[in-house]
Amino acid sequence: MPEFRFLLPAIGSLYNDQQLAYNPRHSVLVTGGPGSGKTVVTIFRFLRAVMEEQDIMLFTFHNTLIYTIRGMLKERAEELFGELDEARINDIVENKLATFFKWHYTNIKFFNDQEETDEMRENFRSYILEKRNERKFDELFYDEGQDLPKNVYSNTFELSDIITVGADRAQNYREYYPTDEVEDIILESLQEQIEIDPFYLGGNHRNTRQIFDLAKKFVTDDLRVQGMDSSILRAGNNPEIQTTFNEQQQLDYIRQIIENNPNSNIGILVHFRRNVNRIKQDLEAHGYSCLMDAPENRSFSYYYNGMNESDEATLRQKLRTPFIATFESCKGLEFDIVIMPFFELSDVATAGVNDRGRAWATSSHYYVAVTRAKNDIFILSSSRPISLAFHNEEDQQNIMDDLF
């Protein structure tokens, strides 16, 4: 199966609103919905700083986006880095990209999102003083900024005088902020320290009209999402929702979709790591492999926090599709096809809480998952959970009859 890569357009093809957010040399807050180009703008601002030999860091929310960005940068090194030597490029790719949590753990201590603002400020100051000889970073970049708490932004200028933050309130997984106040609170926290310009990216350059209309049904309380005009998006295939497939039927259907789409990037997104392992086991039982030497046409990748170390080492070098991950780990990624199996677990996942006291899944998780899809979306379930209350099985059958 094809290797997965983060799709970075040529800088000359940025849309007008993306170009406006890219241009400033000072701090910016870039907001917008899925497919609007927040991460693209952040990466291009990061690359500009690289070419100017700045001392920088780019933080993302999770490891999977780090791995995909690293793969893209390595593959397009000559185009993106110009005359930089190989040692410098490797240093950038391996050491200037990190999840904020891992960076904080490595350089300061385990990150405590409940830490008092004053204590975090002292931690940041001590880091700059003791580990960087009083030298701040030239620039910092935060992707998926809505998933870091306010106390980070209230102190981030202890680390650097120029900050780029990308954020989307509808992807507010960790719920550090009231959903309708995410960007306002982050902006206010930053502006208390330095002047920063907000930029809103209003386009959706990923989803079809049908996919985005489905995504909107999961976040009916988000007025900004509901106000987005999906009629201007390109037309595509109708989503497929099956609510009568047992576990084996779902696994068989996943393999059928994979086999019918050998050249497509496919994301298989689930609630729990045990679901990841169940699909992994089924694929392996049918001749697929996630090992480094797996045949290209029978390979796949998977990810969850705490996965097998050997498999994660392979993933760092080569992320392939189909790619199996939890909803928590899919932000920032993009697939031709998204499959969401075992969706009957939605009732359990939205009612139960994890070790951080937060729901395993929220409506935002589903909104994000659906909007990862460029062309096709499949939701598979053995029954209809509350989160699919909007779905009418008769309407689905009429669609299927029209298609076949």
Read off the tokens for 337: 């096809």
Read off the tokens for 335: 């697939």
d(Cα 70, Cα 76) in Å, to the nearest integer?
10
Instruction: Return phi, psi of residue 14, to 5°.
Output: -60, 145
Provide the residue type at 141 as one letter: F
Tell me if 30 sits within 8 A of 44, measured CB to CB.
no
Listed residue (36, 46, 39) closest to 8, CA to CA: 39
The percent of the chain in helix, strand and coil, each rounded to the nearest 5, is: 45, 15, 35
0.85 cut: is pTM over it?
yes
Helix, strand, or coil here: 307?
coil
Q: What was the pLDDT predicted at 404?
A: 38
d(Cα 194, Cα 26) in Å, to the nearest integer?
10
Tell me if 262 sits within 8 A of 1, measured CB to CB.
yes
Tell me if 349 sits within 8 A of 15, measured CB to CB.
no
- Per-residue pLDDT of the chain in tens (404 residues, 90 and over written 9): 667 767 889 999 999 999 999 999 999 999 999 999 999 999 999 999 999 999 999 999 888 888 888 888 888 888 888 878 888 888 998 899 999 999 999 999 999 999 999 999 999 999 999 999 999 999 999 999 999 999 999 999 999 999 999 999 888 888 899 888 999 999 999 999 888 999 999 999 999 999 999 999 999 988 889 998 999 999 999 999 999 999 999 999 999 999 999 999 999 999 999 999 999 999 999 999 999 999 989 999 999 988 999 999 999 888 899 999 999 899 889 999 999 999 999 999 999 988 777 889 999 999 999 999 999 999 999 999 999 999 987 655 444 444 33
DSSP string of 224-290, one letter each residue = HHHHS-GGGSPP-PPPEEESS--HHHHHHHHHHHHHH-TTS-EEEEESSHHHHHHHHHHHHHTT-B-
Instruction: Return phi, psi of residue 80, to 5°.
Output: -90, -30
Counting every residue, how long is the chain?
404
Q: What was the pLDDT predicted at 402?
A: 47
Q: What was the pLDDT predicted at 395?
A: 58
Q: What was the pLDDT predicted at 46?
A: 95
Q: How many helices (H) and strands (E) does the chain have?
A: 17, 12
